[in-house]
Amino acid sequence: MSTENAYEALAEAHDDARWAFGTSFDDPLAGVDTTVPSGVDGDDLHAYCLMLGDDALIASHRLQEWCTNAPELEDEVALANIALDLLGQARLLLARAGERGEDYHAFFRDEQEFRNVRLVEPAGGDFGYLIAWLLVFTSWRLALLQRLESSRDPVLAAVAAKGVKEMTYHRDYAARWAVRLGDGTEYSHDRMRAGFEAVWPLVDELFTPHPIERRMAEHGVGVDPATVRAEFDDVLARVLDAATLELPEIPALAGVSGKTGRHGVHTEAMGYLLAELQSIARAHPEAIW
């Protein structure tokens, strides 16, 4: 094996000089039973997997933006690992969503075709905002995945089983930082409070079920998000109490004619995010590198 060039050495080990530079991965669901459970509408299952996969994909992209921006190297590594865990979930869920494949769903859909909740879209904010955002997202998603472990769909059940372990760590990381900042200095307390206030208008949407989510729950495949609100509220109340913070009393961000992220109606930030996420793939469609 050559040691003169790192990429040559890697390529030599994998019999493909392109592998280290990006795409052309194996099917993530290879060897997995992808039969649609009896009595379940395939289009509904497709849309439901898009919802869960898009949540993970867009959240992962936002977390990647914190590489080199976190307050300590240890946190940059932690946030990058959380982003990678979510990207792994997204790959499986988007692959499950249909025959066109994960790359198509990530790079070649238009904004209105994405079904993620709006919580994962906004950019910017300081570290206090990030921690508030991450605690809200992970507390909600962990509660969903815990219930999806018993899904009648074997793919969703497998994703959930692995995801529960990952999200438990993610939530613990966010909760520890929320307490550290909230119960720290006057300045850190104020920044943590401001973070929760910025995130809170997007919380109610997480627990407002789309008709497809209701149908998937009725068939024992998915979860009605309204059923996890009490658990979410309990987790947030405990963490904020330890952080000497209070739950914000801020009205929810309205949708457009009652439609929100699950319907393909997004915030202004979503278009800018997709322009960055999809630019290379769209500039070189069907390319493999």
The structural domains of the chain, ordered by start, are 41-283 (1.20.1260.10)
Under-50 pLDDT residues of the chain: 1-3, 5-24
Q: Which of 45, 37, 89 is nearest to 63 (CA)?
A: 89
Tell me the β-bridge partners of 259.
Answer: 256
Q: Are 57 and 122 in contact (CB under 8 A)?
A: no
- pLDDT for 97 equals 92
Three-state DSSP string of 236-274: HHHHHHHCCCCCCCCCCCCCECCECHHHCCCCHHHHHHH
Residue 98 has what pLDDT?
A: 81
Q: How distant, in Å, are the alpha carbons of 57, 58, 82, 275, 288 from that of 61?
A: 6, 5, 11, 12, 21
**Residues forming a β-bridge with 256:** 259
Record the tokens describing residue 266, joined without a space: 């997004």
Which among 199, 181, 176 has a CA at the least distance from the CA of 245?
Answer: 181
**Per-residue model confidence as pLDDT tens digits over 49-101:** 999 999 999 999 999 999 888 889 999 999 999 999 999 999 999 999 987 88
**pLDDT, tens digit, for every residue of 276-286?**
999 999 998 87
In the block, tokens 């307050």 appear at 71
Does residue 92 contact residue 12 with C-beta atoms inside 8 Å? no
Beta strands in the chain, from DSSP E residues, in sequence order? none
**Stated pTM of the model:** 0.89
How remote is the C-alpha of 89 from its chain's centroid? 8
Cβ–Cβ under 8 Å, residues 137 and 85 = no
- The pLDDT, as a whole number, for residue 125 is 87
Buried b (16+ CB within 10 A) or exposed e, 74-85: ebeebbbebbeb
Determine the longest span between alpha carbons in the chain, in angstroms: 62
